[in-house]
Amino acid sequence: MLFMGGDRGGDRIDEAVAHTAKVLRAALDRDWSVKAGGLDWSCLYTAEHIAGDFVAYAGQLTGRPTDAYVPFEAVLDKGTAPEGAIRAIEATGGILAAVVRTTPRGVRAFHPYPAGSADAAGFAAMGVTEALLHTHDIAAALDVDAEPPASLCEAVLAHLFPHVPPTPAGGTPWTTLLWATGRGTLPGRARLPHWRWRNAASLPAGPVALREVTPAAAADLAAGGTGGFEWLGGGPFDGTRRAAEMVTKAYAAGVHRSEWGMYVLVRTADELAVGGMGFHGPPDENGCVEVGYDLVEEARGRGYASGALRSLSQWALTHPEVTSLLAVVEPGNAASQAVAVRAGYERLPDRDTNFAYGLRRA
C-alpha cells in the first residue's frame, strides 16, 4: 500500500492513469458538455483539470517553491475533443510519474494542507486521488462505471486520509474513499459536508528531520520492512518496530490521530533514517502526552535524539490541548535518561518500576 519506496508512487500514478483512460474512453460517444457529477464544471473541463493537476504537481516538485504554487497552468487547446483530453491526461500523468520517480529523497515543495509542504510520495498520492475522484465525477454524469482497484483506494486512504476510520462492514475501500471526500455515504457515518486530505509532516530538528509516518508506512515497518526509508545500519531498532505496530493497531481500531503518532528521524545530510520518535497517543484528559524514542546503534552519541526530542516537544506544546509531556524510561537505560534531561525534561516520581521525566508548558 506504500506511496514510498523505490518509485515513491510512480507505479500508482501509472495505474490510476490507465484506469482513468479506460473509464473515459468507454464514454467517448456521450455529451461531455454536461456538468460532471457534483461539480459546476463540464465533463470536458473536469478532464482538463485532471491533466492540469498532474502538471502542477510535477512543477511543484521540479520548481520546489516553499511558499506558493508555481504560477503556471496547463490547458487544452481550444476545440479539443474528449479523446484529446484523455491523451492529455495520459501525457501529463506520465510527466508526474517520471518526476516522482526521479525527485531526490527529502525534497519537499509547497502545498497548503496541512503543514505547508509535501514530498514526492505526497504529490503522487494527491495526483492519484485527483484522478480517481474526478474520473468518478465524469463517469457519474456520463453513466459509466468508474470503480478503481481496491488496492489503489487503500493506498490513498492510508497515505492521505490517516484520520479516516478504516472501511466498515458493508463498505469497500472505494466507498470509504468516496465518503472521505464528501461524495458518498457509509453505514453508520454521517455524510461529510467538508473534507481535507492530510500530507505527512516534516519537522526540522537540527541535523535531522522528524518525518511523520503514515499508517501504510507503519504497517510496513511493523511487518519487518523499511517503511519506505533508507536506514543507517540496514534497518530500525526494535523499539521503532514496536511503535509502528502501535500505530498500525490504532489505525485498524479507528482511534489513530494524525500528528500524535510516530515519526522517523532522518539525517538531512544523506537522507538516512537513524531512529524513531513519537507519541503513545493523543493528549489525555489532563493535557499530558507521552513520548518514546530510540536510535539505531550506529547513530547514537551524536545528539540526534536529544535535539529531535527538544524540537518535537516544543512543537507539541504549541497545541493548546497539550500542557505537559512525559517520558518513561527503564532504570538501566542511562542513555535514554540522558536524552530526556538534555531535551529539558525534569525527573518526576517513578512510574511503577520505571523512571519518569516530564516537561511542562512554561
C-alpha grid cell for residue 264?
522517523
Domain span at 219? 203-360
Which range, of 162-171, 210-219, 320-329, averages the lowest pLDDT? 162-171
In a domain, 21, yes or no: yes
Q: How far apart are CA 168 and CA 189, in angstroms?
A: 9
Give the rounded percent of residues in the chain with a pLDDT score beyond 70: 98
For residue 313, the domain's CATH number is: 3.40.630.30
Q: Are residues 248 and 317 in the same domain?
A: yes
In a domain, 298, yes or no: yes
Q: How far apart are CA 293 and CA 322, in angstroms?
A: 19
Q: Are residues 240 and 165 in the same domain?
A: no
Mean of the per-residue pLDDT values of the chain: 95
Over residues 4-14, the mean pLDDT reads 81
Q: How far apart are CA 235 and CA 278, in angstroms?
A: 18
Give the rounded percent of residues in the chain with a pLDDT score beyond 90: 92
Q: How far apart are CA 15 and CA 75, in angstroms?
A: 23
In a domain, 128, yes or no: yes
Residue 44's SS3 state is helix
In a domain, 157, yes or no: yes
Which of residues 165, 180, 195 is at a domain's end? 180
In a domain, 193, yes or no: no
- Output the pTM of the full model: 0.94
Count of the separate structural domains present in the chain? 2
Which of residues 180, 215, 232 is at a domain's end? 180
Q: Are residues 214 and 155 in the same domain?
A: no
pLDDT value of residue 3: 76
Q: How far apart are CA 216 and CA 152, in angstroms?
A: 12
Over residues 260-284, the mean pLDDT reads 97
Is the predicted pLDDT of residue 1 greater than 60, yes or no?
Answer: no
Q: Are residues 173 and 218 in the same domain?
A: no
pLDDT value of residue 212: 96
pLDDT band at 7 (very low <50, low <70, confident <90, very high): low
Q: Are residues 214 and 264 in the same domain?
A: yes
Q: Are residues 211 and 274 in the same domain?
A: yes
Q: How far apart are CA 19 and CA 174, in angstroms?
A: 14
Which of residues 128, 147, 180 is at a domain's end? 180
Q: Are residues 278 and 325 in the same domain?
A: yes
pLDDT band at 5 (very low <50, low <70, confident <90, very high): low
In a domain, 198, yes or no: no
The separation between CA 14 and the C-alpha centre of its own chain, rounded to angstroms, equals: 19
pLDDT tens digits for range 49-105? 999 999 999 999 999 999 999 999 999 999 999 999 999 999 999 999 999 999 999
Q: Are residues 164 and 215 in the same domain?
A: no
pLDDT tens digits for range 112-128? 988 899 999 999 999 99
For residue 176, the domain's CATH number is: 1.20.120.450
Q: Are residues 255 and 312 in the same domain?
A: yes
Q: Are residues 275 and 164 in the same domain?
A: no
Q: Are residues 159 and 228 in the same domain?
A: no
In a domain, 3, yes or no: no
Q: Are residues 216 and 277 in the same domain?
A: yes
Cα–Cα distances in angstroms (integers) from residue 352 to residues 7, 238, 288, 326, 335, in the given order = 46, 23, 18, 14, 20
In a domain, 189, yes or no: no
